[in-house]
Homo-oligomer: A and B are copies of this chain.
């Protein structure tokens, strides 16, 4: 396990008393305390990619439109670990949401530590995309401590296994990103389980685990031959 500075960072969010945000620098670091120190280079050059990593790692996705019925469209994943009663003081009434919305939000709940590791894993994967910027020595060694050597052009779509290009982040289809954060098992949000996938591949996988997805498409191919 990597030991971190872990100094509390006050974010002034109303959710701070549920879970303090912690400095993810190594102990005895230079400079300011920072929850995402390894994202600093990327944030300077490609802020939308850095924001996407932070957002996907730490926030649930709910409905496309926020409403009383549809629920919040984004909320911190660890907040969704609270019970319905514990959420009420925060203005979130899970009882008023449709059951499928509740299920979707609850499925995306994850502990703070898991979210922090997901952000690191996603950054490590971004730096291994075709055409990605080169990581500074400092960021490289930080990320490699967690996940091993960074190899150029080795990040593939979790689902279709095609090589992913860094510039796919800036292309968009119908206003939506072309690359999304995917999960080998959609029920668990943690570093082992997470990766990038084409938006269409992620949708196609749906609630299936990757294993279930491959078995499903294998059977379709067989049925197609035999009919």
Contacts and interface: CB of A to CB of B under 8 A. Distances in A.
Contacts of A65: 63, 65, 67, 69-70
B161 A220 contact: yes
Contact of A203 (B98, B103, B203, B223): B203
Interface string A96-110: 001110010000000
A206 interface: yes
Contacts of A219: 160
B227 A221 contact: no
Interface residues of A, number: 35
Interface in A136-174: 156, 159-162, 174
Contact of A223 (B63, B160, B207, B227): B160
Contacts of A159: 220
Contacts of A103: 174
User: Number of copies of this chain in the oligomer?
Assistant: 2
Interface in A43-73: 63-65, 67, 69-70
A204 interface: yes
A99 B174 contact: yes
Contact of A204 (B64, B204, B227): B204
A214 B220 CA distance: 9
Interface of A: 63-65, 67, 69-70, 98-100, 103, 156, 159-162, 174-176, 200, 203-208, 214, 216-221, 223-224, 227
